[in-house]
Amino acid sequence: MTPSLNTTWLWQSAFGNACGPDTSARERADFEIHLKAMREKVRGLVARIAHDMPGYTVHDETHLDALWETTSLVANPDLPLNPPEGFVFGGAVLLHDAAMTLAAYPGGLAELKATTAWADTAALWGGAHSGSTAPPLHSVETETHIQVEVLRRLHAEKAEELATQGWAVDRDTQERVYLIDDIDLRRFYGKTIGLLAHSHWWPISRVERDLTRTLGAMPPRTRHEVDLVKLATLLRVADALQLDRRRAPHFRRALERPNGISALHWTSQEKLAFPYISNDAVIFTAGEPFEIKDAEAWWLAYDAFTMADRELHDADILLRSRGKSGLAARRIQGVGNPQEMAKYIPVSGWRPVETRPRASDIAKITTTLGGEKLYGDEPTVPVRELLQNAMDAIQARRRLQDRSTEWGKITVSLTESADGVWLSVEDTGVGMSEAVLTGPLLDFGSCLWRSSQIAHEFPGLAAKGMNSLGRFEIGFFSVFMLGDHVRVTTRRYDYAEREALTLEFRTGVGSRAILSSAQLGTAPMDGGTRVEIKLRIDPRCSDGIRLMLREEKQYLYFPPRAYSLAGLVTKLAPASSVSIDTVDLGRRKQAILANDWQTISSSQLAARVTGVQKEKDQSVVETFMRDIIGLEGTIFGRAAISPHRFGTPTGVLTVGGLCVDGISHILGIVFGDVTTAARDTGSIQVPPEALSTWAADQAKLIEASGISTEGKMLCAEICLECRASIFGLPIARRGNVWLNSYQLRADLAHMSEISLFADDIRYEEYDNVPQWIFDKYFEFGEDVLFIPTVSQRLGAPQGRGWDKYGPRPSYLKRHVLSIVREVWGDYQERTTDEQVIGRAEGEDITRIVDVYCRPSTDRQEC
């Protein structure tokens, strides 16, 4: 027992002669003896923290005893403790960090691994480090990291159980030992001690809400009551302020050898002296200055002081609001002014100036990065982002409640009211708590689903495989592209209707949002979220010109193309895993049924991804749509090969069912991944073997079809790019004759030289005929092997084939040359300046061609 513990005025107020006349010496001794006995047992428990939480600063009995001294420093003498309060407060002090060891779990590591927190942390750790250089998920190093993180995360919650929890002496007996030996004290005060120990991690609002009661006296041992709010505020303040060098002994550091953030904690605390009070401020000082190499540690200490300052302020207000004397100190000297703090925590060789990157104009940043500058002038983007958020919320609820993959609905509505036209997107997802509504939703660049906060908000969700569509965490702010008046109404699926909330921006992102309880009957009935935007421009007209839509004779304008609301939704989410209804000015329609892209007819799917127009050969090609299936049966899309010379997009690249971009040479839907924050560019994510198998099946279907011979040859080009067999598809032409691989082999057996032209035949200014004659009358020559090609790579995003992917090689030319090498054994190559490749109205048309010859002992022949 350290001398400072018994001599603190707070201890004396509870167990010493300072007790009031209504407290007997026997009562004081009774509670003190049992608290000291509990301390001896807890001492053995917390001694194991250093082993199970390597690198952490001291959490042993010296830290626990020091909390009495720290509390005595800041607590007003008008806040004494009676004996049962001293016992309960002391018990909470002993237990508040005692669960940061496996010894707190009678089942040891196996019990910890069985927790939801372990499963969540393992899932988050594996997901966050996928593809990185982090150690394998099942390595010893990773398991240690997960153990430390889970012990840290659960320690306050587990502390609530320790006062009443028993430990088996051995496996062969039923004997159990407890931290509180006296069964009456354990049963009467144990739960309260645990609750207070847990509360040191609560927000102050929960302390005020859940600990407002007073625990009555325990007859016949005492007539004193226990004030829970007083004890909870003293515990949290003392824990926040206990930052001095006793928590980081220099020799202990040499033994522990902490690194990373832990090393910074040791450096910051081992320099700090015990604080003192001047007027109403706590003043921290340091025995030696922080040098440049210690700058990060100085800032870590500054952040700790800032947090402690907030705890002092909140605790003082709470105590005074309950008619009690406030704290002797209400703030930390220097917080809010780093240069002022440096007067007390000195530095050497540098100056602490607040130079961290900061967002001084949130409205401007969100308008820039979350609006037109990121997404361009395409006003459909906010709808897509809201659909994505809704899909994530529904996916989360499906996993939490083990619902089917078809459960859930999104409703997109366009309504007209007295103040204008409103667009809303409502989902039946998990909804949001106040912490999420005012936190991650409005934290630019933050994502709930990819942060550790998910384990607190929705325990078990990460472990169940939550994989959000959101990647760049800026989508919500895109809604301000459409209007300044935005209203978010949400009700968590497990909350009562009276707990539903509304967050409203009335004059744009720069205005202060108004948080209020949702009016009864306005929140989603079964939980979920609704986002409403008062549209800045009436969507039914633009520049005063009313635009008639194709479907349902409704008016809606989303440049550069106009869609009905249902048409807009199917364009934005063609492979949605969630059913989506639209309410277009009062008319309801089911736009998409969950995962219906797998079951609707080929013509319906083709119309969904291309619009109502019919391209040449499309009606035939759409019948070739087949699933793209991986080795384990995973479906990566449903599509048909549909090549175009210049890469006109006919297919859709989707991520999570949402359209990322149009893609070339494919009609249908293919799964991919996004590559930009604007989510308007992506790449195909299909295993090579699945793509090859699908393309080979396409080759068979195309060969037996009635599409044009040139179209078949372009299909062969795409099949080869997929590394698939092309069977009997044409690969080249000579004059008016088309050749497949077998026919070319037969011809080459009798030839010693071939000329290849692997490109489209386009008019050139030096041709001896006008362009209209060239276009109408050009005839292919019979002395040249022509290989038409396409301009963009397979699946290249719309308009990005050349810029992003570079010049596209001719896979047909590669294939032809492989056949040449196969038949001739090898070949020699030369390039002529010019050769006649055809005629137009009797005039020779010349181009540079590649010439290949059989190997010869006389190299002059080629």
pLDDT at res. 536? 86
Over residues 751-777, mean pLDDT = 92
| 8-state DSSP, 134 | S
Domain boundaries, the chain: 1-240, 243-353, 363-594, 602-861
Is residue 544 pLDDT above 60, yes or no? no
Contacts of 327 (CB under 8 A, 6+ apart): 74, 75, 76, 79, 237, 312, 315, 316, 319
Contacts of 578 (CB under 8 A, 6+ apart): 390, 391, 394, 408, 409, 410, 427, 592, 594, 657
Distance CA 283, CA 270 (A): 16
450 or 491, higher pLDDT: 491
Examine residue 560 and say whether the peptide bond preceding it is cis (omega within 30 degrees of 0): yes
Q: Is residue 131 very low, low, confident or very high in pLDDT (cuts 50, 70, 90)?
A: very low
Is residue 177 pLDDT above 90, yes or no? yes
255 or 814, higher pLDDT: 814
Q: Is residue 357 very low, low, confident or very high in pLDDT (cuts 50, 70, 90)?
A: very low
Is residue 139 pLDDT above 80, yes or no? no
- Single pTM value for the model: 0.73
Is residue 855 pLDDT above 80, yes or no? yes
pLDDT at res. 672? 84
pLDDT at res. 44? 92
Q: What is the pLDDT of residues 680-720, one digit of tens each?
A: 455 788 999 999 999 999 999 999 998 889 889 999 999 99
Q: Is residue 470 very low, low, confident or very high in pLDDT (cuts 50, 70, 90)?
A: low
Residue 561 CB neighbours (<10 A): 11
Is 529:431 a contact under the CB 8 Å cutoff?
yes
* Range of weakest confidence among 1-5, 402-406, 447-451, 837-841: 1-5
Q: Is residue 7 very low, low, confident or very high in pLDDT (cuts 50, 70, 90)?
A: confident
pLDDT at res. 62? 87
Closest CA to 185 of 106, 86, 98: 86
pLDDT at res. 645? 64
Q: What is the pLDDT of residues 509-528, one digit of tens each?
A: 777 788 999 999 999 999 99
Q: Is residue 743 very low, low, confident or very high in pLDDT (cuts 50, 70, 90)?
A: very high
Distance CA 14, CA 128 (A): 49
Torsion of CA 594, 598, 600, 605, to 10 degrees: 100
Q: What is the pLDDT of residues 729-742, one digit of tens each?
A: 999 999 999 999 99
> What is the residue-averaged pLDDT of the chain?
85
pLDDT at res. 800? 43
- Give DSSP secondary structure letters for 426-473: EE-S----HHHHTTGGGSTT--GGGSTHHHHHSTTTTTTT---S-SSS
CATH number for the domain whose boundaries are 363-594? 3.30.565.10
Is residue 474 pLDDT above 60, yes or no? no
- Crossing angle of helices 83-95 and 25-46, rounded to 10°: 0
Closest CA to 158 of 233, 200, 103, 104: 104
pLDDT at res. 374? 43
How many residues are listed for the chain in this entry?
A: 862
Q: What is the pLDDT of residues 751-760, one digit of tens each?
A: 999 999 998 8
Q: Which of 92-106, 125-139, 358-372, 609-623 has the highest mean pLDDT?
A: 92-106
Over residues 770-794, mean pLDDT = 89
* Range of weakest confidence among 239-253, 531-545, 568-582, 680-694: 531-545
Q: Is residue 792 very low, low, confident or very high in pLDDT (cuts 50, 70, 90)?
A: confident
- What burial class does residue 218 get, using C-beta atoms within 10 Å of its C-beta: 0-12 exposed, 13-18 middle, 19+ buried? middle
Q: What is the pLDDT of residues 187-233, one digit of tens each?
A: 999 999 999 999 999 999 899 999 988 999 999 999 999 999 999 99
- Angle among Cα 678, 682, 687 to the nearest 5 degrees reads 150
Q: What is the pLDDT of residues 273-296, one digit of tens each?
A: 999 999 999 999 999 999 999 999
Over residues 335-347, mean pLDDT = 93
Q: Is residue 92 very low, low, confident or very high in pLDDT (cuts 50, 70, 90)?
A: very high
Distance CA 548, CA 551 (A): 9
803 or 831, higher pLDDT: 831
Distance CA 752, CA 837 (A): 19
Over residues 549-575, mean pLDDT = 63
Q: Which strands make up the sheet holding 843-847, listed edge to edge?
A: 779-780, 835-840, 843-847
Contacts of 630 (CB under 8 A, 6+ apart): 636, 686, 687, 689, 690
pLDDT at res. 480? 85
Q: What is the pLDDT of residues 644-668, one digit of tens each?
A: 765 566 788 898 899 888 888 889 9
Conformation bin of residue 530: beta by default, left when phi > 0, alpha when psi is -120 to 50: beta
pLDDT at res. 138? 55
Distance CA 178, CA 38 (A): 9
pLDDT at res. 245? 86
* Residue 768 phi, psi (nearest 5): -85, 15
